[in-house]
Structures are given as structure tokens and as C-alpha cells.
């Protein structure tokens, strides 16, 4: 399975964001890589507020965050699980702050929180201990936040993330592993543009595939296919100021350009031509 991607797919106007924040990706410990795509670290110190926008991937995130209000006030640390955001994710950054995030592979969050289907977290942002605490592990995330967010040294932060995630390492879950494999297939095989084709590749009925994705990924297979289409269109629009939208729509499996424009506008908030010109 591929390691962490070094691309910025899904980030709207990534070059502008990266002039304002220090952003980097780090690999988790080898034992965690079947479950985690990467860690993502962000630090900022902004003279004025800035709002970032992301077209989210079909992944659950564990987010440790520190905000520094300034003056003599103590930094505020938090640990939260972010379920999949189905629309555009916007985040206002201001003052000084730090985030250490854990990006789970699609489908791979379920073994860490097996008591509920992942679809129950979709569109929600909850305290990490609500989602991850178990009788065996107890509420560890809140206590871990300072160890993850406190060190100035980046390697120390990654080591703290590794220690926490390794303490939660779950037993194998064949259903979750299948969901992760199928979600990865959608990402890498551009010919899989229909749910029935993906179900056939998995030797499952469409209904069984939908139940698997609801339980383990958090969204349906159709949504995952569509989201990768939008990421491809977003990347194309960000690198080519005058892309051939009709050709791109055909490449992505749309029946016509109008359907691509509709989906892109609904997700990103502006039509693709306006985004490309901007």
C-alpha cells in the first residue's frame, strides 16, 4: 500500500495557504501504516486571520490542536475526531496555533472504534475520548494532547503520536481491511467510475458494498467515486488556467460537461472556470 502522498490534492489554493503556515507530512511507525496514511503537522503565527478551504478526502482524522490566545493565558489543547466532511471544509486560522493530525486510511478507522459504524461520525466533530476510549484503554487522548503538542521538536511530536496510536493498535478486522482495499482501488483505478463496477470487482452485491462502506468508511461508494473525480478536476483546474472541461468530463466518466460543472460548483463553491481563472 502506498505511503503518504506528497501532493496537495484537495487543498483549495494550496500555494497561498503555504505562504502563511508551515505544513508538512510525516510517516507513522511501520506497524501503523496499514491503518494510517500519514500525520500532518501545521504551525502558524498570523498577523491577521486567514481562512483555509479543503475538499476533504474520504478519511477520518484525529486532530490534536493548540491555540495560543496571547498574553499570560495558557495555551488551550484539544483532541478531537473529525468524521468525513461531505461538503467544503473551511477553517479560520488566527493568532498563533499548532495542529498535529492523524489521517486514517479510508475504512481503517473502524477497528479503532468498533462500537459504532463509521457513518455515525460523518459530518461530526467529537472529543477524541468519546470516539476512541475503551474499557481497555480508558480516556487517553486528552492526556496525550500536551505530549503531542508541547514539544518544539517535530520528531518528538511524531514520536508522541506514534506512542499513542500504537497503544490503541487494534486486532485485525477483515471487513475494514476489505473496505480500505476497495477505497484504495477507487483512488488508483480511474476506470472504476460506477458503483456496480466496484461491486463486481469485489464480488459483492451493490447493497452489500453500500453496507460495507457505511460501516467502515462512513460514506457510500458513490460518494467516494465522486469525490476522487472532484479532486482530479480541482487539481487540473489548479494547474491549467484553460483546461478542456468537456474532455476532462469525459475522462472522469461524466455523461457531459454540465454534470461536472454542477458537481464541482456544489463542492467547491464556484464553477470550475472561475476557479481556474482565480
Predicted confidence (pLDDT) per residue in 92-118, tens digit: 999 899 999 999 999 999 999 999 999
User: What does the DSSP assignment read for 162-187?
Assistant: HHHHHHTPPPP-HHHHHHHHHHHHHH
pLDDT at residue number 2: 44
pLDDT at residue number 74: 63
Is CATH 1.10.10.60 the classification given to domain 174-277?
A: yes
216 within 8 A of 60, measured Cβ to Cβ: no
pLDDT at residue number 196: 95
pTM: 0.90
Quick one: pLDDT band at residue 20, thresholds 50, 70, 90?
very high
Pairwise CA distance, residues 234 & 263, whole Å: 11
C-alpha distances in angstroms, 156 versus 17, 60, 159, 180, 239? 25, 23, 5, 29, 36
Contacts of 15 by beta carbon, 8 Å cutoff, 6+ apart: none
Task: Taking residues 71-79, report their average pLDDT.
Answer: 73
Angle at which helices 174-188 and 221-239 pack, to 10 degrees?
Answer: 30
Pairwise CA distance, residues 128 & 151, whole Å: 20
pLDDT at residue number 1: 45
pLDDT at residue number 247: 87
Quick one: pLDDT band at residue 265, thresholds 50, 70, 90?
confident
- CB-facing half-sphere around the CA of 76: CA atoms within 13 A: 7
Q: Is 41 helix (H, G, I), strand (E, B) or coil?
A: strand
Pairwise CA distance, residues 158 & 142, whole Å: 17
pLDDT at residue number 3: 41
C-alpha cell at 149: 503538542
Instruction: Tell me the H-state helices in the chain.
Output: 14-18, 128-132, 141-149, 154-167, 174-188, 195-202, 206-216, 221-239, 245-251, 257-268, 272-277
Contacts of 43 by beta carbon, 8 Å cutoff, 6+ apart: 21, 22, 97, 98
Other C-beta atoms closer than 10 Å to the C-beta of 146 total 15
pLDDT at 68 over 80: no
Predicted confidence (pLDDT) per residue in 171-184, tens digit: 999 999 999 999 99
- Which residues are bridge partners to 42 per DSSP? 23, 99
**Domain layout of the chain by residue ranges:** 11-167, 174-277
Amino acid at each position: 500500500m502506498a505511503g503518504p502522498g506528497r501532493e496537495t490534492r484537495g487543498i483549495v489554493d494550496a500555494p497561498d495557504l503555504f505562504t502563511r503556515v508551515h505544513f508538512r507530512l510525516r510517516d507513522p511507525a511501520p506497524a501503523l501504516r496499514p491503518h494510517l496514511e500519514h500525520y500532518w503537522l501545521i504551525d502558524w503565527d498570523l498577523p491577521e486571520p486567514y481562512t483555509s478551504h479543503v475538499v476533504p478526502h474520504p478519511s477520518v482524522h484525529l486532530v490534536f490542536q493548540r491555540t495560543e490566545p496571547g498574553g499570560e493565558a495558557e495555551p488551550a489543547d484539544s483532541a478531537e475526531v473529525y468524521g468525513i466532511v461531505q461538503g467544503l471544509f473551511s477553517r479560520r486560522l488566527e493568532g498563533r496555533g499548532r495542529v498535529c493530525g492523524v489521517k486514517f486510511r479510508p475504512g481503517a478507522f473502524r477497528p479503532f472504534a468498533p462500537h459504532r459504524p463509521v457513518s455515525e461520525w460523518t459530518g461530526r466533530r467529537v472529543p477524541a475520548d468519546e470516539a476512541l476510549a475503551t474499557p481497555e484503554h480508558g480516556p487517553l487522548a486528552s492526556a496525550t494532547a500536551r505530549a503531542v503538542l508541547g514539544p518544539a521538536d517535530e520528531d518528538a511530536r511524531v514520536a508522541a503520536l506514534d506512542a499513542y496510536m500504537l497503544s490503541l493498535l487494534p486486532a485485525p478486522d477483515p471487513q475494514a481491511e476489505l473496505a480500505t482495499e476497495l477505497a484504495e482501488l477507487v483512488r488508483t483505478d480511474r476506470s472504476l467510475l460506477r458503483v456496480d463496477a466496484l461491486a463486481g470487482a469485489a464480488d459483492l452485491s451493490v447493497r452489500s458494498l453500500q453496507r460495507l462502506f457505511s460501516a467502515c468508511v462512513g460514506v457510500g461508494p458513490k460518494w467516494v467515486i465522486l469525490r476522487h473525480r472532484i479532486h482530479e478536476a480541482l487539481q487540473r483546474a489548479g494547474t491549467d488556467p484553460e483546461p478542456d472541461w468537456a474532455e476532462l468530463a469525459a475522462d472522469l466518466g461524466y455523461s457531459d460537461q454540465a454534470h461536472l460543472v454542477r458537481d464541482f460548483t456544489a463542492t467547491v463553491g464556484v464553477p470550475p472556470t472561475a476557479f481556474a481563472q482565480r
